[in-house]
Amino acid sequence: MSVLYVTSRMEFVRNTTLPSSQQLTEADQEMFGITAPDLVRSYLLLCPRHTATPLCSLGNLAASLDYSGIFVKDEGQRLGLGSFKALGGAYAVIRIVVTLAENKLRRSVHPSELRSEAVSNFARDITVACATDGNHGRSVAAGAALANCRAIIFVHEGVSDKRVAAIEAFGARTVRVSGRYDDSVNEARRVSQENGWQLVSDTSQGDDEHTPLTIMQGYTVLMAEALEQLSALGRKPSHVILQAGVGGFAAASAAYLTACLGSRRPTIIVVEPERANCILEGFRAGRPVRIETTEPTVMSMLECYEPSHIALRILKRCADAFMTISDDLAVTAMRRFAAPSGEDAAIVSGESGAAGLGGLLALTQNPAWRQQIRLGPSSNVLIVNTETATDADRYAHLVGLQPDQVGLVRER
């Protein structure tokens, strides 16, 4: 295995202020409770290739790091869109179109009516919009294509041409915005308000929470599947490591685990790039803060400088610890996924997708951090590969292999 190391900039902060009871508000409990995945599935059944993504057991890696088990939920195959974001954006678009159709037709509309003439003709006049680093925009574009409405996707200047092409392949129009992700978020909001478009934002800065919450609800399917798959193996997760950009995925997963398992839930650790740690800094400040923009991180899908207010609210009440990792460690994790040892599954993981494994490697390197969260030989760790190689050229540059070569090389 590649040499692991911890730089002085990486941080680990334990949450010592967790409430002993009532960790979720009543509204969040309802939104992310045990029935949430079933509601989402009733809509996602309309999507082609809707099926559970695999849970991979990395037994050899677990043994080498002295853990009982390491399990990876591989979202690189989700709905054929390459990332967990497929669960949120497409679901939200379908929900928006169905709700607007109900208001127009003055009756309830079942999701199966999405392709009916009455709903389809109405949907042609609907425009949905969002800002994206790549994956969320692709999901929104796919949802718009399915729902027969228009999609305008705002991308910042750091989004690669290949990721833009993947969005446009669904018939969406993209708009380039100068600056970084947060700049594209602000522009998408401004233009949508001016034109009366439906903004499908996966972050909230204290304004409208309905759509971000709907998107986050979509992510509960992922964690529900993982618990079902682990149960089939006779395992229960003791620790779950969740990567965060604005925090929506981490918060939704943490909320679902808390709502369903209560005091029996696993220890939850949130990991971010050290160059874009808005969740950790917001937790430290006790409120959402916009952090200073620095040089870009290789984990581009996690490069966010202001947290979702909803996500921070939930994570303050559900996450046990917050940590950051270096770019080098994320790349090490990508390479470890690509060239496994023994019988471990080979996994194609993008830069941000590998952050969960990067976090585990950083924890393994630091005994003091491990001790604080009781991570040791009896631990079963669940991590999520949130994305596949969404830019094959960039992946090859970082890993030294083309995505279709992964699994052909194994660690000796």
- State both tokens at 219: 């992510």
State residue 1's pLDDT score: 28
Which residues are identified as catalytic? 85, 133
Signed CA dihedral, 192, 43, 142, 150: sign only: negative
Q: What confidence category does residue 5 fall into, taking pLDDT thresholds of 50, 70 and 90?
A: very low
Q: Is 69 helix (H, G, I), strand (E, B) or coil?
A: strand
Kindly report the average pLDDT of the chain as a whole number.
Answer: 92
| pLDDT for 7 | 47
pLDDT of residue 411: 56
Cα radius of gyration rounded to whole Å, the chain: 20
Each residue's pLDDT tens digit, 257-302: 999 998 899 999 999 999 999 999 999 999 999 999 888 999 999 9
The percentage of residues in the chain with a pLDDT greater than 90, rounded to a whole number, is 77
pLDDT tens-digit series, residues 153-201: 999 998 999 899 999 999 999 999 999 888 999 999 999 999 999 999 8
Query: DSSP letter string over 195-218?
Result: HT-EE--S--SSS--HHHHHHHHH
Q: How far apart are CA 18 and CA 318, in angstroms?
A: 7
Question: Could you give the domains of the chain?
Answer: 12-84+216-405 (3.40.50.1100), 89-201 (3.40.50.1100)
Inter-axis angle of helices 210-218 and 36-44, nearest 10: 90
Q: CA angle at residue 50 from 47 to 52, to 5 degrees? A: 155
